[in-house]
Homo-oligomer: A and B are copies of this chain.
């Protein structure tokens, strides 16, 4: 069997924009890449908001998608944890704990992922629905694609996770 055939693959569907879901997504993606696993992160639905540039301002193409971008502006700096909200104190504490433990920031993890070849594929349907343009997303994202792309990469992957 040739080496190419042996390449192991992992496909992560990043559906959530919770800080505590984006963290394991990026940690698992970068760790897998470190073991020469070909990693694709298909970024869909709320997940896409996590990969918006920070402080992008109002995005969207009509009043609804613009309103959505105000209510949930996205970007790594605005993500919240899914529990213990307490008016933002939970997220503040969690970020503080991560920093103290010297756990890499989301931005560093994304950078590390991109350097190690992790492919981030934005979901076309989500971009259309939320009225997001390529320039609204962080640099380094791949071309937008649909569910059929996700299915075909997933069929060929040893690891599939919906996060």
Contacts and interface: CB of A to CB of B under 8 A. Distances in A.
Given A68-B93, A151-B35, A46 B125 contact: no
Interface in A8-38: 8, 10, 13, 15, 20-21, 23-24, 27-28, 31-32, 34-35, 37
A65 B8 CA distance: 38
Contacts of A8: 155
How many A residues are at the interface, by size bracket?
Answer: 35 or more
Contact of A28 (B98, B147, B161): B147
A71 interface: yes
Interface string A77-119: 0000001101000000100111011010000000000000000
A31 B93 contact: no
Interface of A is mostly: helix
Given A35-B148, A71-B84, A154-B159, 11 more contacts: A10-B154, A24-B44, A34-B148, A37-B151, A64-B93, A72-B83, A72-B84, A98-B129, A157-B158, A160-B160, A161-B161
Interface of A: 8, 10, 13, 15, 20-21, 23-24, 27-28, 31-32, 34-35, 37, 44-46, 64-65, 67-68, 71-72, 83-84, 86, 93, 96-98, 100-101, 103, 125, 128-130, 146-148, 150-152, 154-163
